Amino acid sequence: METTVIRTQIAVLDDYQQVALTKADWSNLSNRADVTVFGDTLKDPEALINRLLPFDVVCVMRERTPLPRSILERLPRLKLIVSTGPKNGSVDHKAAEERGILIKDTRGSLTAPIELTWALIQASMRHVAAEAANLRAGSWQHTVGEELKGQTLGVLGLGRIGSRIAHIARAFEMEVITWSDRTKREQAENAGARLVTKNQLFEQSDVLTIHLVLVDATRGLVGPEELSLMKPTARLVNTSRGAIVDEPALIRALERNKLAGAALDVFEQEPLPPNHPFRTLKNVLATPHLGYVSQQQYSIWYEDTIRHVTDWLDSSTT
């Protein structure tokens, strides 16, 4: 009698660009598992549960598809979650542990978000997107940009990314100031920045860039009061998390030209709704959460994903 081999079912979620299978070699899993890639994100919990019911392993792109307790409790086959990047707050680790679901994170790289932050700062200051669109439309030179040299960069959050942003600013001969409730004076000085109060950060910055993690204490941290302190010539840059900024307050400030502009890569709701004001406001430069989207980053993530799945399969058969 032939023995029926039960193949492991692996789901790769939220592959918007359909690149997961091309950025790493999945062939080592082909004898033991079937890999199904989904390019969309399901917002409806029931639809998501029905999609994931057949799978033993779910590979998630961090913070695109949340996996709260209410979802995990209804996935009896699920044994392993692999998340791209460390510290995925949208997966309920406690609920997974209680159900015996193993969670593994991949390595991450800081290079991609740091480089995109500076791309957005420079593109906003020099009106790159608008001028490129004007040129394609047949016109020539509509705006006058600003140099970075001599401007004040405010860094909200001086962690692993924020400190590197501050170091790079010195190469542009910018003055750098910083504040967060955890930043110490010595830490700021080591990054080439001057520690100021929260109010001073918003009052003095010509460009204010956000580099905080999203927790209860930082949700809505940049609200109407903070925005009202900023110069009308200042620009806000956010490549961290959309919910750190009060979106309605920012929209009002931009509509009333209380700020010169905003350069945004992250939003409270992603993908950004088609009719969202950030898509049409002339003083907004918006990109679709590209901070981590690079060839090198994807290769790291999916190579690590395959390694974690392989290790789990090996341990399950011994």
- Asked if pLDDT for residue 88 goes beyond 90, the answer is no
Q: How many domains does the chain have?
A: 2
Residues 51 and 116 in one domain: no
Residues 46 and 104 in one domain: yes
Q: Which residues are catalytic?
A: 241, 270, 289
Residues 163 and 271 in one domain: yes
- Asked if pLDDT for residue 6 goes beyond 90, the answer is no
pLDDT, tens only, 126-142: 999 999 999 999 999 99
pLDDT, tens only, 261-299: 999 999 999 989 999 999 999 999 999 999 999 999 999
* CATH number of the domain bearing residue 117: 3.40.50.720
Looking at the domain assignment, is residue 211 inside a domain? yes
Model confidence band, residue 318 (pLDDT cutoffs 50, 70, 90): low
Residues 118 and 259 in one domain: yes
Domain with 26, as residue range(s), is 8-108+295-316
Residues 260 and 175 in one domain: yes
Looking at the domain assignment, is residue 3 inside a domain? no
Looking at the domain assignment, is residue 1 inside a domain? no
Residues 308 and 275 in one domain: no
Residues 13 and 162 in one domain: no
Residues 273 and 148 in one domain: yes
By percentage, how much of the chain surpasses pLDDT 70? 98
Token pair of 229 as six digits = 């302190």
Residues 115 and 262 in one domain: yes
CB-based contacts of 130: which residues, under 8 Å, 6+ apart?
142, 143, 282
Long-range contacts of 166-172 (CB under 8 A, 24+ apart): 166/191, 166/192, 166/193, 167/191, 167/192, 168/114, 168/118, 172/148
Does residue 104 contact residue 80 with C-beta atoms inside 8 Å?
yes
pTM for the model: 0.91
Instruction: Return the pLDDT at 1.
Output: 46
